[in-house]
A and B are shown apart, each in its own frame.
Chain A
Amino acid sequence: MVTTTALEAELRALAGAVPDPELPVLTLAELGVLRDVRLTAPDRVEVCLTPTYTGCPALETMAADIERALHDHGIPHVEVHTVLSPPWTTDAITDEGRRKLAAFGIAPPRPTGPGPVPVDLTLRCPHCGSTDTTLLSRFSSTACKALRRCETCREPFDHFKEL
């Protein structure tokens, strides 16, 4: 059985509290990209991160930010690895993460797990709450977002697209 020490839990919380470089409203834990934090020696920590998209350019910044946070906590050796499997999905974003995205003006992703396929109607404008929105572009300012417009308040907004 794999056990987690109190120190590991503390380090995991620290690494998880690092903000996402491109969506600073979210922490890495809320985004669901932090897979593991392990002490491999008393002064050595191994961190596993998974990318949202394979080419996500924020990954290197995330790794550097985690290293800095753990160094500041007195851990001299920090190794950050990238793991691809199982692939990240937007279902890994926590409920708190979804709430923060909406408050930030980004429509959170709809569930992709087993069950009925979500229909566009369930997507709400993060500004006025209207469900009458139109897709402008499947690709937006980052790989993980699509660009939509609200037909009620006429504001364009980003949608964290389902993956």
Chain B
Amino acid sequence: MTPRTATPALPLGDDALILSHRLGEWAGNAPVLEEEVALANIALDLLGQARVLLSLAGDEDELAYLREERQFRNVQLVEQPNGDFAHTIARQLYFSTYQELLHGHLATGDTDLAPLAAKAVKETAYHRDHAEQWTVRLGDGTAESHTRMQRALDTLWRFTGELFDPVDGLDSVPWHDLRATWTTRITTTLERAALTLPEGPQRSGWAAGGGRQGLHTEPFGRLLAEMQHLHRSHPGATW
């Protein structure tokens, strides 16, 4: 297998695949039935996007199931554990806002990612809307929900800087502008939710690199073990 690791389809496909897997972990555990269905639907959209993107980079199954941790190029944000519901919503808010802006830009370009981006941006707008509504509901809800939502936003803040590191092969993306628009949108939502924009650094103190370089956080290995276990133990298994 020689995946086209140079294509930007790989990092974007990995973002979608890994976040899809994390959201899938909510199946059977969501707080209410409607959220069970919502998170599974969002996961399904992301899985569909991942399949198209990874197919542009190589064989989708081999890329998903047979790569080692260091070969994945997703940002660290998407591999962070679900935590409580507020953590999942904070991760969704940060990521879907970013993904909608990025796909919106790519949809107008002429790369081989444009058709997928034009399709995905409409799906992602629903994901962002879902995350914003929950952010407002939790932030402007009870004292407990407010505390937890703020804590989740603060905890995940240090993974947001990496979103705007230029991706190889996506030279036309105005990353600086993307970051400014992202910050404005997040700030607006948090104001509506009576929450505060986190102030700390948008990177971890250990700045040797990030997910785009194949360097991942400790929970990622366990995620991969679960995601790849069946395929590795029973190659070619079907049902």
Contacts and interface: CB of A to CB of B under 8 A. Distances in A.
Interface of A: 51, 53-57, 83-89, 136-141, 143, 147, 161, 163
- Chief secondary structure at chain B's binding surface: helix
B114 A85 contact: yes
Contact of A54 (B35, B37, B123, B126): B123
B116 A84 contact: yes
A147 B32 CA distance: 14
B137 to A, nearest CB: 13
A53 B38 contact: no
B134 to A, nearest CB: 11
A140 B37 contact: yes
B122 to A, nearest CB: 5
B49 interface: yes
- Chief secondary structure at chain A's binding surface: loop
B48 A163 contact: no
B118 A138 contact: no
Contact of B44 (A55, A84, A85, A161): A55
A141 B118 contact: no
Interface string B56-94: 000000000000000000000000000000000000000
A51 B45 CA distance: 11
Contacts of B118: 84-87
Nearest to B38: A139
A64 to B, nearest CB: 15
Contact of B34 (A53, A55, A86, A147): A147
A137 B52 contact: no
Given A54-B116, A87-B115, 9 more contacts: A53-B48, A54-B49, A84-B115, A137-B34, A138-B38, A139-B34, A139-B40, A139-B42, A163-B122
A143 B45 contact: yes
B9 interface: no
A147 B41 CA distance: 13
Interface string B118-162: 111011001001100000000000000000000000000000000
B37 A55 contact: no
B46 interface: yes
B22 to A, nearest CB: 15
B118 to A, nearest CB: 5
Q: Count chain A CB atoms within 10 A of each CB in B46, B48, B52, B119 and give the residue with the most.
A: B119
